[in-house]
Each structure stands twice: as structure tokens, then as C-alpha cells.
Amino acid sequence: MFRFHETATRIQRVGKCVVLAALLAAATDNMTLAQTVTFDSLLDDMLDRDALAVHPNANASFTLKQRSSYDRGSVAPDQAGWFANSDWSNYIRSEVNQGRTEWVLLDETGPGAVTRIWVGGRPEQAATLRFYLDGSSTPFWSGTAEDLVGKNSAMGAYLSWRSVDADLTPAGNSPGQNLYAPIPYSSGLKITFDHTPGGTSNGLWYNINYRTYEPGAAVTSFDPSEPTEAATAAKLAAVNSQLMSPDTAPRGAGLQQHSTTGALGNGQALSQALTGASAVKRLKLNLQAADMAAAIKDTELQISFDGRTTVRVPVGQFFGSGTNQINEVQDWYRTVNPTSGDMTSYWTMPFQNAADIRVVNNGSQNVTVGLEVETGDWNWTDDSMYFHSNYRKTDSPLVGGNHEDWNFVSILGEGVYVGDTFQITTGEDNSPVWWGEGDEKIYVDGEAFPSHFGTGTEDYYGYAWGGRHPETFNHAFVTQPESGANRAVGTTVNGRVRALDTIPFDESLHFDMEFWSNAGGDYDLSVATMWYGKPGAFAVGYEKLGDLNFNGTLDVQDWVLFRNGFDTDLAGLTKGDAYLRGDLDLDGDADVDDFSLFKQAYEAENGAGSLAAVWVPEPGALQLAAFASLSLAMKHLGRGSHLHSKDVNSNDRPARLAVPTPDPY
């Protein structure tokens, strides 16, 4: 893949002719990597777990965005209406097609693909959705939301489904309709709805995820007859069958098995070390304890790749069951069997040299752990990424009626977002009200307004009328293994994992979920997020401040990195790269404020005076004064205005960095 910094280095070393040859070779390599996107190829990509660990820039580069019926009164965090909840029947525009007035849900031009559609509404509606391809005035699909989205028989039950397979449970409430079958288009796609907005039965809620490929990308548009053709019909049947049986999917070449068992008391750990360039393809944990509900909360999974810990999550949350009780889970990447205690992950987790998988008992009871790890071949390239999973929970209960954006995760660096497990517990004093009207707001690469703005927490997780649907469910990409808090006192667990709807980011990703309950009471929230990141990517608040080499300790190597970046020109760097050069407060400069933060963190871990001991020559008062004077002078010379360190944890939404430090336990 063509990389500017590598080519710039060549320019310094070789003549113009060689440089031109290198540029041509790089361009040729890129063209070789590019593939034609088709309905068939997207089905292949859906089942390719390894593909998640390779940044899409390596092949068919795309962005993922969302169109939804979110309340258009939500304009900015500092304006009234940011938590407005009239998400019913909001469209791009209306237009007249063949004498019909239609309301436009999606209208995209250029090469792309719709990868997920969710709709909710009233089951008695006879309204029609229409799909127009590549500028055509004739729809290639027309039908009810149920016919096209929730029960599209041509696509199969694992690509088109209703969250709950019931028409009226209770009367007047419809389950969420979901379509995960891809719809590629070469030059554009428009989706419309023909009911006049307004009224209790004349509209719908909708969320549509779609990829936009680079201009000129080769995309073959969806052919509506294709799913019924013999070859494609057979492939769709195979895809549905595979999604139904996640353990039987091929996991590549060079598979090796590693296993260990142990009985763990409080504070004890079981570890499996792995060496050599490889990838974890399957991770199975068997957990046994007298109190399994406590065990899945107090037993923690920690995984380190090449010396850096990127996973630290309670096992219940990591495997999708939640931490209230052990629940049955089956999605494309995870399974939990509450009878046997088996919990299995199929996330591909590559590493270059070594990995260490640890199971730690943080509880008071003894637990028995069996750990099985399957590894396979992996060719690490510049586009390979490490697997990350971060966990956070509320320090104290949130109070219903006080709306806020509760942060799932904020990531700096380059990577891909792939899933989350969300848990909410309602307090004993809660009335049986619904908590799930909060919208997801996902900002990619520093957006001032989220490119993913949803219509409700239950909509994000694939269901609808959540307060009146207590049923549990497991689908390939969304789950509700526990539903005790749905208009009741208890716990609800929702999971969403991604395949074609993964979210790539080049510089940052900030994910908030609105906390939105229509009545008071206490609510405890927790979430585990899953994402892939290139080396150097990190989640804000989960690494030790100043640990610039991510080895888990503040040491002399961190000081060398900080010293080398101190007061250098950080203009043009991403926030993540600037942080790794010493901009600890993320204000755009590596300056005396950052030095104070680094010194405080370093000496808190290593003892008073420890930083002076590694600074050669040892700094005196004059040197520190010169250090400070130089920084202040540089600021006055016009580096521009920046946030100050005291503002890092303020509610500064455009910066997308207002993240509280996680408190896992």
C-alpha cells in the first residue's frame, strides 16, 4: 500500500527516476489489492473474521455512516434539544414519484453498500418502502417493512429477522425489523416510505448503516433477481447456516491447541503464554464456582499482545452474558453455555511476537478455570491490528430523568470499532418505567456532529418497544440474553457485534450513549467495548498517564520518549500521535503543563525524586526555569489557542475527549 512517509524517505536516498518507479510500483500494488465489491464478495466478507484485524485501507477503503429518524431538534450539545426524543418519522425530504408522495430515508450517490437496516413501527401499517438503484425512477424493491426487512425470505432467517418472532406482543407493539443482507450500489441508492408523517400509525423509526467507498471504486450493483438464482441461493443458505453455527466456521491454517487448568483463590491467576507470530482464533473459558453470578463478575480476562495489555474485562461482560448472572449467548463471535460453564470467543487476535492470556480471580470465593486457546497462522503487515476490549461502569448510580451522554469509549489512533456489551440495572426504588430511549452518538475522526445518531438504545441493539418486550433473544449480530430491567426492577444485557457494519477510523472514535429514562430512580450502567487498533492506538483513560510505550509501567523509556517530544512542533499530528510525543493533556502542545503531569505520575509510581535520578544531567532550578520559559515563549510566538490542561475533563464536546477515568471495580 502506498505510504507517503516511506516514499519521502526514498526521495532522500535515490534519484528521481527511482522515485518515479517506486511511486508507480506503489500505485500498482494498490490497484492489485483493490477488489470489485459485489453482493457475493460482501457475503464472503461477512464471514471472514480475520478481515476485522486488517484495516480496510489495505483493500477496499470505506467509511461507515448512518441515516436515521433522530429528532432534528438535536443540533449541538450546548443547545436546547440535544436530548430531544421525537424520533418518529423524520426524513430527508418529500418528493413525488409516479404521482405518489414519498418521504426519503436515504439518498446516497457514488459507490457504496447498505450493510444494516433496522426499522420499528406499528404492525398494522400497510405503508410501502421502496428501493431505487443507481438513479432509476423504478424501484427494484417495494413492500412493507416486514416483507423487505424483517421477514425477507429470499435472504434467510439469519440475515433478515425480527427481534422477537411475534406479531402483536402485546397488541399495538411490533418487534424490531432487521436486515443484515448487503445492498451494494455502483452510483447511488435511494430508499423511500409512502405514509404521510404524523399520527400514531403513519410512520416509522429507522436506522440505516451504509458504506461509502472511495470515488472510482469498483462496485457491482445489487441485482434483485440474484438471491433467487441457484448459485446465490445456495450461498445464502450456506451463510445462514454458518451464522447459526459459529463454532464450525473455518479458522484458517496452522491451527494449534494450547490449554491449561487451575483452581484460583482470591488474587490468583491462570496464564497461558504464546510465542511467535500468530493469531488467537478461538478462546474457550470454562468457569466453575459455587456462586456463578459472582464468578462471572469477579473473574477477569486479561490479554497482552507483544508486551501491552489490551484486554481487561470481567469474563461475563467480555463473552456477552453480562455480570449479573450466567446467561445463554450465541452470536457470530461469542457463545455462552450456562449449563456447562463454557464461554467461547471467536475474535481473531493477531500478534507479532508473543501473547499472554490471563484469568484473574478478583473475588472472595475459589473458582476453577479451564482455558483453551487455539492459534493459527498470521502474516503481520502494516495494516494488521491488535484486538482491544475496554470495560467501564458507573462509579455511582445515575438518576433517572437527568439526561446525559454516557461515554462508552473514546479512542485515539487508527482502527476499527467492532462491538459492545451493555448492561443496565434498575434500583429497587424504581417504578416499572422504560430506560432505553437514549440514542447512540458516534463521532469519527473528530466530527463536530456524530455521523451515527440513533433513535434509542433498544433500536441500536435491534429490537423495539423494548419496555414492553421482555423476551430474551440471540441473533447473529445482536443479543438480549437478559431482560429483567425492561419496565421492571432487574438487569438487562444487550450485545451488538459487527461484520459489514464495522466502523473504521483513521484518527479517533468517540462513542456516547444517551442515558435517557422517563422517570426517576437509580440506574447502574456498565459496558465492554471491542475494537481493533494499529500499534499506538489507545482508549482514553485506560492507560497509565505517561506510559508512552504502553508496557504497563512508567520507566526511563517513557521519560526518554517524553523528553524527545517535549516542546517539539506537533502541528499536523493527530491527537493520538501528539499524546505519544508527550501531549498528555491533549491541548496541542507538549509543554510545562505536561511535564508537571508526567513528573507527578512518574514519582507517584517510582518514588519522590525518581525522575531527577533518570534525568541526565540532573535538572536544577535554572534548567527547569529555562524549560518553562522556552515553552511559554513558543506559545507566545503563535502556536494558536488550545484547551488548557484543566479543561481536559470538561464537557467540551467538539474535542471528543471528555472521558472520565474508568473504575472497573
Residue 511 lies in a domain: no
Residue 166 lies in a domain: yes
pLDDT at 665: 29
Residues 228 and 273 placed together within one structural domain of the fold: no
Of 247, 268, 285, the residue at which a domain comes to its end is 247
pLDDT at 354: 98
Peptide bond into 227 cis (omega under 30): no
Residues 215 and 165 placed together within one structural domain of the fold: yes
Residue 152 lies in a domain: yes
Residues 18 and 74 placed together within one structural domain of the fold: no
Q: How confident is the model at residue 125 (pLDDT cuts 50, 70, 90)?
A: low
602 phi, psi to nearest 5 deg: -65, -45
Residue 518 lies in a domain: no
Question: Average of pLDDT values for 60-70?
Answer: 96
Determine how many CB atoms are found less than 10 A away from the CB of residue 3. Answer: 10
pLDDT at 198: 64
Residues 145 and 219 placed together within one structural domain of the fold: yes
Q: Are strands 508-515 and 452-453 parallel, antiparallel or unpaired?
A: unpaired
Question: Average of pLDDT values for 215-231?
Answer: 96
Q: How confident is the model at residue 160 (pLDDT cuts 50, 70, 90)?
A: very high
Residues 217 and 140 placed together within one structural domain of the fold: yes
Task: Please state, for a pLDDT cut of 70, what percent of the chain lies above it.
Answer: 84
CATH number, position 363: 2.60.120.1390
Residues 243 and 265 placed together within one structural domain of the fold: no
Q: What does the alpha-carbon distance between residue 195 and residue 496 come to, in Å, rounded to a whole number?
A: 30
pLDDT at 518: 78
- Is 658 a residue whose pLDDT tops 90? no
- Is 433 a residue whose pLDDT tops 80? no
**Full residue range of the structural domain in which residue 214 is found:** 62-247
Residue 422 lies in a domain: no
Of 226, 247, 268, the residue at which a domain comes to its end is 247
Question: Average of pLDDT values for 344-357?
Answer: 99
Question: Average of pLDDT values for 629-636?
Answer: 44
Residues 267 and 243 placed together within one structural domain of the fold: no
- Is 458 a residue whose pLDDT tops 60? yes
Q: What does the alpha-carbon distance between residue 463 and residue 32 come to, in Å, rounded to a whole number?
A: 41
- Is 637 a residue whose pLDDT tops 90? no
131 phi, psi to nearest 5 deg: -120, 120
In the block, residue with C-alpha cell 430531544: 84
Instruction: For 18-74, give the DSSP string.
Output: HHHHHHHHHHHHHHHH---B-HHHHHHHHH-GGGGGB-GGGSS-EEEEEEE---TT-
β-sheet bridge partners, residue 442 = 452, 511
Question: Of all helices (H) and strands (E), which one includes residue 297?
Answer: helix 292-298
∠ CA 649-654-656 to the nearest 5 degrees?
A: 50
Residues 194 and 241 placed together within one structural domain of the fold: yes
Contact (Cβ atoms closer than 8 angstroms) between residue 66 and residue 207? yes
Q: What does the alpha-carbon distance between residue 336 and residue 339 come to, in Å, rounded to a whole number?
A: 9
Question: Which of 51, 45, 208 is CA-nearest to residue 115?
Answer: 208
Residue 513 lies in a domain: no
Question: Average of pLDDT values for 640-644?
Answer: 29
β-sheet bridge partners, residue 288 = 368
Question: Average of pLDDT values for 266-271?
Answer: 98
- Is 203 a residue whose pLDDT tops 80? no
Contact (Cβ atoms closer than 8 angstroms) between residue 662 and residue 391? yes
Which of these ranges, 335-344, 508-517, 551-560, has the smallest mean pLDDT? Answer: 551-560
pLDDT tens digits along 365-375: 999 999 999 99
Which of these ranges, 13-22, 151-160, 192-201, 269-278, has the smallest mean pLDDT? Answer: 13-22
- Is 161 a residue whose pLDDT tops 90? yes
Residues 112 and 11 placed together within one structural domain of the fold: no
Residue 389 lies in a domain: no
Contact (Cβ atoms closer than 8 angstroms) between residue 313 and residue 394? no
Q: What does the alpha-carbon distance between residue 508 and residue 500 come to, in Å, rounded to a whole number?
A: 20
Residues 200 and 328 placed together within one structural domain of the fold: no
Residues 84 and 8 placed together within one structural domain of the fold: no
- Joined together, the cell numbers standing for residue 237 give 443458505
Question: Average of pLDDT values for 287-304?
Answer: 98
- 190 Cβ partners below 8 Å, 6+ apart? 104, 106, 107, 108, 131, 132
Contact (Cβ atoms closer than 8 angstroms) between residue 539 and residue 505? no
pLDDT at 59: 78
Q: Share the mean pLDDT of the chain.
A: 86
Question: Average of pLDDT values for 215-237?
Answer: 96
**CB burial string 136-162: b at 16+ within 10 A, e below:** eeebbbeebbbbbbbbbebbbbbbbbb
Name the more confident of 568 and 291.
291
Of 191, 223, 247, the residue at which a domain comes to its end is 247
pLDDT tens digits along 463-507: 998 777 788 999 999 999 999 998 888 999 999 999 999 999 999
Q: How confident is the model at residue 664 (pLDDT cuts 50, 70, 90)?
A: very low
Question: Average of pLDDT values for 94-120?
Answer: 96
Helices 4-13, 16-33: inter-axial angle, 10-degree rounding: 160
pLDDT at 663: 36
Counted domains in the chain: 4
Q: What does the alpha-carbon distance between residue 117 and residue 94 come to, in Å, rounded to a whole number?
A: 20
- Joined together, the cell numbers standing for residue 173 give 407493539
Name the more confident of 576 and 6.
576
pLDDT tens digits along 434-457: 899 999 999 999 999 999 999 999
- 438 Cβ partners below 8 Å, 6+ apart? 403, 406, 456, 457, 513, 514, 515, 516
Residue 21 lies in a domain: yes
pLDDT at 626: 52
Residues 232 and 277 placed together within one structural domain of the fold: no
